[in-house]
């Protein structure tokens, strides 16, 4: 639920996505990407995400990094954030990715927090459609066919806002 101004400080968050005291917002990104799923034992399982980080409000013309498996974030500056642990999630739209609060590690002892909000898309179908056909006529033996439209690898587009918080310098 990004407010009309599109500024990071205007994002309205569900209750349990509060960043710990002592951390301050330093940057947000509009993420445009794809979730890659594999069909395993009758369900789609997330294999990996991939997305491009764009400056908000730039019509997706100014990218500054990527969002990849791990998940991790790699910035054009060379900085990398690896997921340490998922702290909270909130389902805002059952047809889109969850909103998340993630603790990330930049280097040993240096943590940042990432909020994923404003999600759209990114989820696979809950089940594949199956079709069965049977043919029987005398004197030909009965024939039956069945198939599923499940793909072994499914690509699902998504968009999200990722906001990054680092430790506030003591005054």
Q: Is residue 136 part of a domain?
A: yes
pLDDT band of residue 88 (cuts 50, 70, 90) is: confident
Q: Is residue 33 part of a domain?
A: yes
Q: Is residue 49 part of a domain?
A: yes
Which pair of structure tokens corresponds to residue 55?
């400056």
For residue 149, what are the domain limits? 8-167
Q: Is residue 81 part of a domain?
A: yes
Instruction: Return the pLDDT at 15.
Output: 59
pLDDT at 109 over 50: yes
Instruction: Return the pLDDT at 149.
Output: 56
Average pLDDT of 82-93? 89
Closest C-alpha among 5, 7, 47, 29 to residue 115: 29
Mean of the per-residue pLDDT values for the chain? 82
Q: Is residue 125 part of a domain?
A: yes
Instruction: Return the pLDDT at 100.
Output: 93
Question: Domain tally for the chain?
Answer: 1
Q: Is 6 helix (H, G, I), strand (E, B) or coil?
A: coil
pLDDT at 80 over 60: yes
Q: Is residue 113 part of a domain?
A: yes
Which pair of structure tokens corresponds to residue 31?
């993420």
Which pair of structure tokens corresponds to residue 164?
């990054």
Q: What is the pLDDT of residues 18-30, one digit of tens each?
A: 898 899 999 999 9
> Which residues make Cβ contacts (< 8 Å) with residue 31, sequence separation at least 6?
51, 52, 53, 54, 67, 158, 159, 160, 161, 162
Torsion angle of the four alpha carbons 51, 78, 101, 126, in this order, in degrees rounded to the nearest 10: 20
């Amino acid at each position: 639920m990004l407010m009309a101004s599109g500024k990071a400080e205007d994002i309205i968050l569900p209750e349990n996505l509060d960043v710990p005291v002592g951390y301050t917002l330093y940057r947000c990104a509009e993420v445009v990407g794809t979730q890659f799923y594999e069909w395993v034992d009758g369900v789609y399982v997330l294999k990996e995400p991939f997305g491009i980080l764009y400056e908000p409000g730039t019509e997706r013309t100014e990218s500054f990094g990527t969002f990849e498996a791990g998940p991790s974030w790699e910035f054009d500056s060379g900085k990398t954030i690896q997921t340490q642990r998922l702290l909270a999630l909130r389902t805002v739209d059952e047809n889109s990715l969850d909103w998340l609060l993630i603790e990330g590690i930049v280097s040993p002892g240096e943590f940042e927090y990432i909020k994923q909000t404003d999600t759209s898309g990114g989820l696979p179908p809950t089940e594949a459609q199956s079709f069965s056909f049977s043919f029987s006529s005398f004197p030909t033996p009965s024939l039956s066919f069945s198939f599923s439209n499940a793909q072994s690898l499914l690509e699902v587009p998504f968009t999200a806002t990722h906001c990054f918080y680092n430790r506030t310098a003591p005054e």
